[in-house]
Amino acid sequence: MKISTFGYSMKQGVKNIGRNKMFSIASVATMSACIFLFGLFYAIVINFNYIVEKAEEGVAITVFFEEDATDTQKTQIGEELAKADGVLDVNYVSAEEAWDNFQGNYFGESADLAEGFKNDNPLGNSDNYEVYMADVSKQADVVEFAESLNGVRKIRKSDVVAKTLTSVNRLVGYVSVAIVAILLAVSIFLISNTVTMGITVRREEIAIMKYIGAKDGFVRAPFVFEGLLIGIIGAVIPLVLLYFMYEKAIQYVMTKFSLLNNIIDFLPVASVYRTLLPVGIALGVGIGFVGSFFTIRKHLRV
Amino acid sequence: MIELKEVTKEYSKGIAALNGINLKIAQGEFVFIVGDSGSGKSTLIRLIMKELDPTSGTIVVNGQNLNRMKHRKIPMYRRGIGVVFQDFRLLKDRNIYENIAFAQRVTETSSRIIKKKVPAALSLVGLAQKYKAYPKELSGGEQQRVAIARAIVNEPAILLADEPTGNLDPTNSWEIMKLLEEANDRGTTVLVVTHNQEIVNEMKKRVVTMKKGVIVSDEKKGGYNNEN
């Protein structure tokens, strides 16, 4: 295609939007509604994932040593654990730190009650590694691995929390894939329908082009540009809307349910948009392209 | 230039719109195709346009066998044929200049040449002053003249006109026929499907008469024969 023809096709694509205002508005509205729903759902899912991930990071396995374990053995155990699959971080807690933590948790403000243990650490043999998981579904494997290491006496872990988080995560994954697939199918169907309506209105114009000797590409190009433009506009509108709504919604939740402040941490809008923006635009462009390109194809055989 | 050999076209099995047609039209000829509704005239035009494929038989135009023509070759083939319809088929949302320029853009002609050729084509049909008007602002005769300008702007070897005067009064009909005759004088082969007896009888051109899908007469300087 010549550059001048390319320019002409682009210009016609823009003009087509103006010529068929109602059709264009209907297409943009359909696309906006679909991408808005997609964005809304994506924001919810990604935040839920983030919350679950945070919760996972808090889940730790505690690895205690044999009484006669040497410092070298302990260092080696730490290194082996850090290398294990699914482990995020390994933190050494000395016997003194373990006792300090225990005092803080158990005696609280009445620290004087612990005076009797002043020179005798009752947790003297309780130095340990806190192993934090990047992926709780691998916890059982890590526990098995830790048990096989020389110098390990005991392991404390929470199977229930790990299992719950794993299954919640899996459920969220399945649901999000299913909903995104449904939304995609619905939007392609709706866009294809609206494009068909637009093409039906212009069937005569397409027929005239073909009689005059227009190549398929020449007939198709303005429609595809039109579809792409509608796709971009249909994506930008809901993305801008969601951007402002997201911040307002988080502010609202945090002020209305201040109790959640300590438990839940929402993702900042920039983090959500790092993925949502390109995906949303790509979705708009993709649906616009697929909708117009394939719908016009069947009208070209004149 | 145009040759049909034993051409049959059936839309549904057993019902032939054209039945074993043989027709030869030489370069530079002016031919009227006449006949009642349903005689197969428009089917003939659509076959030459490669809008339809024959059920059997061979069609050769400008040395190209249409039976063997691939879909992607059709646009180039059609650029050698100008076509005029009864209902004008202009793009209603574009002005006259854009309607004619459109035929050139389709063939990827440069803007510089379009700017030269469109006014020239408009002058030929006597509408140079109305280039800014939209189709709805023109009379039927004027719209048909625009359609002719669009058909001849690419200087096609063949001009097909399907009932070009069907929607026009006698005065406008004669003007349109004059334009088609002028195109023929410039060397274009012209094929006109018509019901207009007065024009056919007056112009004394070759007349091919069709009835129920077959050619019943083919006269060099013929007239409209109702008896067929």
Could you state, in chain order, the average pLDDT of each consecutive group of 10 residues for chain A (302 residues)?
77 79 83 86 83 72 85 87 87 80 66 63 76 81 87 80 74 81 76 71 81 87 87 93 91 79 80 92 88 76 60
pLDDT at B117: 94
* 8-state DSSP, B161: E
pLDDT at A100: 77
Q: Out of B76, B78, B93, name the one closest to residue A211 (CB).
A: B78
Whether A193 and A287 map to the same domain: the answer is yes
* 8-state DSSP, B35: E
CATH of domain B30-39+74-219: 3.40.50.300
Nearest CA to CA, how far is B176 from chain A (Å)? 20
* Domain-terminating residue out of A157, A184, A209: A157
Q: Mean pLDDT for chain B? A: 91
Greater confidence (B41 vs A188) lies with B41
**ipTM exceeding the 0.90 mark:** no
Q: How many domains does chain A have?
A: 2
Give the nearest chain A residue to B48 (CA atoms): A211
- Whether the pLDDT of residue B49 is over 70: the answer is yes
CA separation, residue A192 to residues A26, A291, B13, B16 (Å): 12, 5, 34, 37
Contacts 24+ apart (CB under 8 A), A84-87: A84/A141, A84/A142, A84/A145, A84/A146, A85/A138, A85/A141, A85/A142, A86/A133, A86/A134, A86/A135, A86/A136, A86/A137, A86/A138, A86/A139, A86/A141, A86/A142, A87/A131, A87/A132, A87/A133, A87/A134, A87/A142
* 8-state DSSP, B129: G
Whether A265 and A188 map to the same domain: the answer is yes
Q: How many CB atoms lie within 10 A of CB A302?
A: 15
| Residues A245-277 as b or e (16 or more Cβ within 10 Å = b) | bbeeebeeeeeeeeeeeeebebbebeebbeebb
Residue A212 lies in a domain: yes
Greater confidence (B210 vs A204) lies with B210
**A204 contacts in chain B (CB < 8 Å):** 89
SS3 B104: helix
Q: Out of A207, A208, A213, name the one closest to residue B75 (CB).
A: A213
Question: What SS3 string covers chain A?
Answer: CCHHHHHHHHHHHHHHHHHCHHHHHHHHHHHHHHHHHHHHHHHHHHHHHHHHHHHHHHCEEEEEECCCCCHHHHHHHHHHHHHCCCEEEEEEECHHHHHHHHHHHHCCCCHHHHHHHCCCCCCCCCCEEEEEECCHHHHHHHHHHHHHCCCEEEEECCHHHHHHHHHHHHHHHHHHHHHHHHHHHHHHHHHHHHHHHHHHHCHHHHHHHHHHCCCHHHHHHHHHHHHHHHHHHHHHHHHHHHHHHHHHHHHHHHHHCHHHHHCCCCCCHHHHHHHHHHHHHHHHHHHHHHHHHHHHHCCCCC
Is the CB of B79 less than 8 angstroms away from the CB of A212? yes
Cα–Cα distance, A176 to A168 (Å, whole number)? 12
pLDDT at A198: 67
Whether A90 and A177 map to the same domain: the answer is no
pLDDT at A59: 66
Residues 6+ away with beta carbon under 8 Å from A139: A59, A61, A86, A133, A157, A159, A162
Is the CB of B79 less than 8 angstroms away from the CB of A8? no
Whether A30 and A172 map to the same domain: the answer is yes
Residues of chain B that touch chain A, judged by Cβ-Cβ distance less than 8 Å = 49, 51, 71-72, 75-79, 81, 83, 89, 91, 93, 102-103, 105-108, 110-111, 150, 154
Instruction: Provide the Cα torsion B47, B50, B56, B61; round to 10°.
Output: 90
pLDDT at B161: 94
Nearest CA to CA, how far is A4 from chain B (Å)? 7
Q: Out of B89, B93, B108, name the one closest to residue A2 (CB).
A: B108
Task: Identify whether the C-beta of residue B32 lies closer than 8 Å to the C-beta of residue B207.
Answer: yes
A-interface mutation test, from B99, B105, B115, B158, most A Cβ less than 10 A away: B105
Give the nearest chain A residue to B93 (CA atoms): A19
Chain B touched by A8 (CB under 8 Å): yes
Is the CB of A212 less than 8 angstroms away from the CB of B91? no
Task: Identify whether the C-beta of residue A91 lies closer than 8 Å to the C-beta of residue A132.
Answer: yes
Whether A139 and A179 map to the same domain: the answer is no
Residue A116 lies in a domain: yes
Domain CATH number, residue A116:
3.30.70.3040
Chain B touched by A262 (CB under 8 Å): no
pLDDT at A67: 82
* Domain-terminating residue out of A134, A157, A180: A157
Nearest CA to CA, how far is B106 from chain A (Å)? 5
Is the CB of B51 less than 8 angstroms away from the CB of A302? yes
Range of the domain at A70: 60-157
Q: CA nearest A104: which of A95, A90, A92, A114?
A: A114
Model confidence at B177, pLDDT cuts 50, 70, 90, reads very high
Nearest CA to CA, how far is B102 from chain A (Å)? 8
**Mean pLDDT to the nearest integer, B170-183:** 92
Residue A302 lies in a domain: no
**B110 contacts in chain A (CB < 8 Å):** 4
Whether A44 and A182 map to the same domain: the answer is yes
**A4 contacts in chain B (CB < 8 Å):** 108, 110-111
Is the CB of A212 less than 8 angstroms away from the CB of B108? no
Is the CB of A213 less than 8 angstroms away from the CB of B111? no
In A209-248, the residues whose Cβ lies within 8 Å of chain B are: 209-216, 218
Greater confidence (B50 vs A174) lies with B50
Whether A249 and A192 map to the same domain: the answer is yes
Task: Identify whether the C-beta of residue B159 lies closer than 8 Å to the C-beta of residue B152.
Answer: yes
Greater confidence (A132 vs B144) lies with B144
Is the CB of A8 less than 8 angstroms away from the CB of B49? no
Chain B touched by A261 (CB under 8 Å): no
Q: Name the helix (H) or strand (E) containing B111.
A: helix B111-124
Place of tokens 């939740």: A253
CA separation, residue B33 to residues B39, B43, B45, B127 (Å): 10, 11, 10, 28
* Domain-terminating residue out of A157, A183, A212: A157
Is the CB of A212 less than 8 angstroms away from the CB of B49? no
Residue A247 lies in a domain: yes
Residue A100 lies in a domain: yes
Cα–Cα distance, A254 to A260 (Å, whole number)? 7
